[in-house]
Every structure is written in structure tokens, then in C-alpha cells.
Amino acid sequence: MRPRDIACSDEPLFELLRQDDHAEAPAEIAHHLDTCERCRSRMEVLAAEPADWERARATLSAAATGFPGESRAMFDRVGTWKTWKLPTSSVDSMVRQVLLEPSHPEMLGRIGRYDVERVIGAGGMGIVFKAFDTELNRPVAIKVLAPNLAGNGSARQRFAREARAAAAVVHEHVVAIHNVETGGPAPFLVMPYVAGESLQQRIDREGPLGLKEILRISMQTAAGLAAAHAQGLVHRDVKPSNILLEDGVDRALLTDFGLAQANDDASLTHTGFHPGTPQYMSPEQARGDAVDARSDLFSLGSVMYAMAAGRPPFRAETSLAVLRRITDTEPRPIREINPELPDWLGKVISHLLAKSPGRRFSSAAELAATLEQCLAHVQHPTSSRLPETCRTATKFSGKGLLRALQERKTAVLAIAVPLAAAVAFAFLGPRTRPLDPSDRALNQPSARGNSDRNDETSTPSSPSIDWNHSAAEIQSFADDLARDAKRIEQLWDEEPLPSQGVRP
């Protein structure tokens, strides 16, 4: 109240500036500053020089400008800078260990006959360089096995074996292997340099992709996978960062074939690297079971989900929790996240994400063919029909359902019993279900096929079955049954059921 009681002096002002902001400023000094002009300006000088105050205003006020034409807002929206956390120490020491002195000052170094220009990427397995083939005069990408693994005989053999196997896959949607060199201190393989970005980068940048893009990229990846599977090679690491999108042409290329196999190597756990994302693993991989080509189909399903939703289907705080989600839960239906996408795309993806390998598409080739038809349908809806698989909820097979039920435990059987009663009722009981002829007519061919199969496998033959029931009606029940099976699975997994309201 009586400011003059405090003598004007720098010391308390200086203290005031340094004091923790969350503590109350001493009342007598605050009062003093209510009126004392001298101490106000003195404190401002103690805080910073006039030039600093001016610079702060110039840069922090809304009108501040920098490089012309480059929007900072765009940059911040992408949030790219957050990802620039280089594992500098690891990359740098790897670079030093695997490269020879550069032949030109602007180059990073040499390996074999290749002039290495820069690092494209690095991970636990090794490091990828952009380089120049001095003999063939073309840019290449070189993947070098991490030096700490190069001394490990089994990792080395694996690298060589997988690289040679991958080199045998020649396909327009698979990144070719030009050369494999395993003799030197650092084994490496040489691939063409693809100018473009990875699918991961595309999703990070743009979020969910459009329907045609999703179909095209998935179809091409499936075709590439089919070529590999035909060689007996399982990729094991299908994920967006392993799918390259070439600039200027609509071409997706699958890369990093089979190399993921070396990830099983126990020595990797000692490298100190984060083992990478398990988000695209299949349930059988997550459990550590043996995998076959159908594991890649699940992973591709997760990739399709990520393209449609902008994020992977199974997410959690820790790698372990992700693995649990993969094995135990159903992802949120895509249409709840991205309602613009057609229902059938969700069905194709759920079909791929079936927990049991036997209930997925039978092969990558089948998937590629289906997606091709889907794409044709989207591009020419009147002349190209949607493929059969997309029009049923899940591909129904009595055998598959039985097996699925058998895999579940008693709790499910309790539900399965009334379900079986319902099936019997459907076949033996009176007609209760009105048909929608426009819808069912489309399903006729497959319905007939399914009913034949059901007859052989799961339906006990009974003389009283009325075979005059239309195939379409049976199909309609097959659909219901498949839907029920899905619900049972969801109940089992304690996932909230998709609300019926969003289903068309």
C-alpha cells in the first residue's frame, strides 16, 4: 500500500525474475511496481536488452515472415520434424564400419564397385544406402547387413540365403535384386533405386487413401506376393514401409523380401535396436507359431486397413500389448472410421484379417484377382460386376465354421448348440423367410456351390430335407450363420459389437 517503503534497487527485481513463476510474487514488490516507473523499466532491462525484446516481438508476432512462399503451417500440420529423431550414434558407427573411404569428396564412401551417396534408412538388420553403380552407370539402393550381425555366422548365412531366394522373384511389383555380395566383411545386396516414397510415408502425409488407390496398391502388392509365394518364399514382414510407391507412375513395389526371417535370430535382441513395429504381424506370427503364405495375407489385410483408416488395425502402448490385440481382438470396423468406403471393402479386409489362416483368402493370387475385379467395378460400375467374394459377409464354408467352432471352447459351444438347432430348422422347418429376389439372384451361382459343399461336409444327410428350397434361401441362411459366427467370435473376444445402426 505504501510503495515508497521499499527502496528502489535492482536486487529484489532480479530475484523476482528468477523466482519460480508458480509461487506468488512478494506483495510489497508487486505493489511497488504498480506505481514505480523507474523500477518497471529497470526490471525490463534486467530481463533482456531492448534488442532482445524487439527480436521477440518481430519473430513471435503473427506478421513475422521468413522464407517466402513456404508455408510453415503446412509443415507443422505434417508434423514431420517429430520423426527426425536420428539414432545417430548407431547409424554413424555402422556407416563408418561398412564403408571404405570415398573416391569423391561429396560421397559418403564406397562399398564394392559402388559409390555410396547417402543413407536412405537404417534399422536393426542393417543400413540402406543410395549409391551409384560405377560400372553400369545407374543409381542403386544397397542394403548392408549390420556389422554386429555380420560376424554372426548364422545371421550371415541367413542373409545370403534369403537374398538369393528373393533374387529369384522377378515380378513387376517386386523390387528386383541386382546383386548379392556375401564374401566381404559386410555382406550386402544391391537393388534398383526407386524414386518415390513408401506407403508408410504416404499414409503419414495424406492420411487415409482413396478407394481406387487402396485397391490398386493392394492389388499390385498381392500380385507381387503371389509371385513370391509361387517361389515358396514367405515375406513375413509385409507392412507399409516395405511397399514402395514409385513417383510418376502408378506402381507399387514390394521390397525387403524374406529378410525379416533373420529377425528371429536371437542375436538381434542384443543389438539394442528397437525390434520394430509388430503392428502388421499375423496372429500366428504373434504367437510364434509356424507361418506360411497365409500369414502374409493377414499382414496385407492390416496394410489395407491402414490405407483405409489412416492407422493400423491393432494399436497399443507396448509391443506386447499389440501382439495380444492381434491374437485376441477384432479391430474396429473400418466403416466406423471411414464411412465413405463401401461396405464390401470392409468385408474383403475382415476376410483377410480372419484369425484362423484357413478362413482367409486361399492365396495371394486369388486376392489379387478379386481386387482386380473390385477395381474394374469401381472404375466401370455398370459394365463390371463386383466379384462374388465381396458380396457375401464372409466366405461361407460349413467345414470352416465347424472348425472355427471346434477351436473355441465350451462357452462358445453353449451358443453353438442353439445355432445348430437354427440350422436344422432352416433346412427342415417351414419357409419363414421372405426372399429379396433382386439381391439373392446375384448370389445364385455361389450359393449353389456352397450348398453342395455343405452337403458333403457338415450337414448330416437326412431324407426329410426339402431340396426344393431355393439355393438363394440357403445362401441367405449361410450369410446369417456366418454373421452369427462373427458375432460369437466378437463376444468371445469381448469386443463391443458393431452397432447395427451403421450397417446398411
Partner 1 sequence: MSLSPPDTRFSLILRLRDVADHAAWDEVLEVYGPLVFRCARQRGLQAADAEDVVQEVFSAVARSVEQWLNQAQRGRFRSWLLGITRNIAINVLTRAPRGGVGHGGDVGLAELTAMPDPDGVNSRLFDREFEWQVYHWAASRVRDSVKAVTWEAFHLTHLEGLTAQETADRLGISLGNVYIARSRVMSRLKEVVRQFEVTE
Tell me the catalytic residues: 247
> What minimum distance in Å lies between the beta carbon of 389 and partner 1?
34
Q: Using the rule CB under 8 A, give the single segment among 51-59, 148-156, 259-267, 351-359 that binds partner 1.
A: 51-59
Question: Which residue lies nearer to partner 1 by CB, 192 or 276?
Answer: 192
Comparing CA positions, the residue from 411, 419, 435 lying closest to residue 483 is 419
Does 12 engage in binding with partner 1 (CB under 8 A)?
Answer: no
Q: How many CA atoms lie within 13 A of 189 on its CB side?
A: 24
Q: Which of 11, 88, 382, 432 binds partner 1 (CB under 8 A)?
A: 88
Q: Using the rule CB under 8 A, give the single segment among 82-90, 144-152, 351-359, 366-374 that binds partner 1.
A: 82-90
Specify whether the CB–CB gap between 284 and 357 falls below 8 A: yes
What are the distances in angstroms from CA 85 to CA 82, 118, 146, 364, 453?
7, 17, 20, 36, 56
Query: How far apart, in whole angstroms, are the C-alpha atoms of residue 263 and residue 271?
Result: 11
Cell representation of residue 319 = 509391443
Q: Which of 1, 4, 61, 438 binds partner 1 (CB under 8 A)?
A: 61
Comparing CA positions, the residue from 337, 491, 304, 301 lying closest to residue 414 is 491
Does 137 engage in binding with partner 1 (CB under 8 A)?
Answer: no
How many chain residues touch partner 1 (CB under 8 A)? 67
Query: How far apart, in whole angstroms, are the C-alpha atoms of residue 251 and residue 269?
Result: 35
> What minimum distance in Å lies between the beta carbon of 481 and partner 1?
48
Does 139 engage in binding with partner 1 (CB under 8 A)?
Answer: yes
Length of the chain: 504
Does 10 engage in binding with partner 1 (CB under 8 A)?
Answer: no
Question: Which residue lies nearer to partner 1 by CB, 66 or 463?
Answer: 66
Query: How far apart, in whole angstroms, are the C-alpha atoms of residue 416 and residue 114?
Result: 63
Cβ neighbour number for residue 481 with a 10 Å cutoff: 21
Backbone torsions φ then ψ of 21, nearest 5 degrees: -70, -20
Backbone torsions φ then ψ of 174, nearest 5 degrees: -130, 130
Q: Which of 5, 21, 101, 494 binds partner 1 (CB under 8 A)?
A: 21
What pairs with residue 244 in β-bridges? 198, 253
> What minimum distance in Å lies between the beta carbon of 394 and partner 1?
39
Mask: binding to partner 1, 207-246, rule CB under 8 A, as x and -?
Answer: ---------------------------------------x
> What minimum distance in Å lies between the beta carbon of 12 and partner 1?
11
SS3 content of the chain, % helix, strand, coil (to 5): 55, 10, 35
Strand ranges in 164-232 using DSSP code E only, listed in sequence order: 179-181, 188-192, 196-198
What pairs with residue 180 in β-bridges? 189
Does 60 engage in binding with partner 1 (CB under 8 A)?
Answer: yes
> What minimum distance in Å lies between the beta carbon of 48 and partner 1?
4
Question: Which residue lies nearer to partner 1 by CB, 141 or 322?
Answer: 141
Cell representation of residue 68 = 517466402
Residues in Cβ contact with 234 at an 8 Å cutoff, skipping those fewer than 6 apart: 228, 258, 291, 292, 293, 295, 296
Strand ranges in 35-176 using DSSP code E only, listed in sequence order: 109-111, 114-122, 126-133, 138-145
Does 256 engage in binding with partner 1 (CB under 8 A)?
Answer: no
> What minimum distance in Å lies between the beta carbon of 64 and partner 1?
6
Q: Which of 12, 44, 97, 311 binds partner 1 (CB under 8 A)?
A: 44
Does 104 engage in binding with partner 1 (CB under 8 A)?
Answer: no
Q: Using the rule CB under 8 A, give the single segment among 68-76, 324-332, 356-364, 443-451 that binds partner 1.
A: 68-76
Mask: binding to partner 1, 172-211, rule CB under 8 A, as x and -?
Answer: ----------------------xxxx---x---x------
- The DSSP output letter for 339 is T
Q: Using the rule CB under 8 A, give the single segment among 21-29, 224-232, 300-308, 388-396 that binds partner 1.
A: 21-29
Cell representation of residue 438 = 433382386
What pairs with residue 131 in β-bridges? 116, 140
> What minimum distance in Å lies between the beta carbon of 197 and partner 1?
5
Does 40 engage in binding with partner 1 (CB under 8 A)?
Answer: yes
Mask: binding to partner 1, 290-319, rule CB under 8 A, as x and -?
Answer: ------------------------------
Q: Which of 5, 11, 70, 101 binds partner 1 (CB under 8 A)?
A: 70
Backbone torsions φ then ψ of 473, nearest 5 degrees: -70, -40
**Contacts to partner 1 by CB under 8 A:** 16-19, 21-22, 25, 29-34, 40, 43-44, 46-48, 52-53, 55-62, 64-67, 69-70, 72, 75, 78, 80-81, 84-86, 88-89, 91-93, 95, 106, 117-120, 130, 132, 139, 194-197, 201, 205, 246-249
